[in-house]
Amino acid sequence: MDIWHFIERDHANIAYLIHEMPAALPGADVLRSRSRLLADLIDELDRHAKALSGSLYPVLRRDPGTERLIADLAAEEAEFMRALRRLQRQRTDSRGWLDRFADATYAVDRWLHRHRHELVPAARARLFGPDLDRTGDAFIRARRRLLNERGSGFPGHLRKAGAVVALTSAVALLIWRLGAADRHRGAGQPVPAKRADGAAPQPPRERGEDLRERQERLLDEAIEETFPASDPIAPSRITR
The distance between the two most distant Cα atoms of the chain, rounded to a whole number of Å, is 86
CA distance 167 to 100: 37
Which 8-state DSSP code applies to residue 33? B
CA distance 73 to 135: 18
Top-confidence residue, 236 or 172: 172
CA distance 214 to 224: 16
Which 8-state DSSP code applies to residue 232? P
What average pLDDT is seen over the chain?
A: 78
Q: Where do runs of H (alpha helix) occur along 89-200?
A: 97-114, 120-126, 129-150, 156-186
Lowest mean pLDDT among 16-30, 37-51, 73-87: 16-30
User: Taking 60 as the threshold, does the pLDDT of residue 142 lie above it?
Assistant: yes
Q: What is the mean pLDDT of residues 186-200?
A: 48
Q: How many angstroms separate the Cα of 228 from the Cα of each of 2, 200, 218, 231? A: 33, 19, 14, 9
Beta-bridge mates of residue 33 = 25
CA distance 228 to 240: 25
Tell me, yes or no, if the pTM score tops 0.75: no
CA distance 142 to 51: 5
CA distance 82 to 199: 54
Q: CA-based angle 167:172:173, to the nearest 5?
A: 100
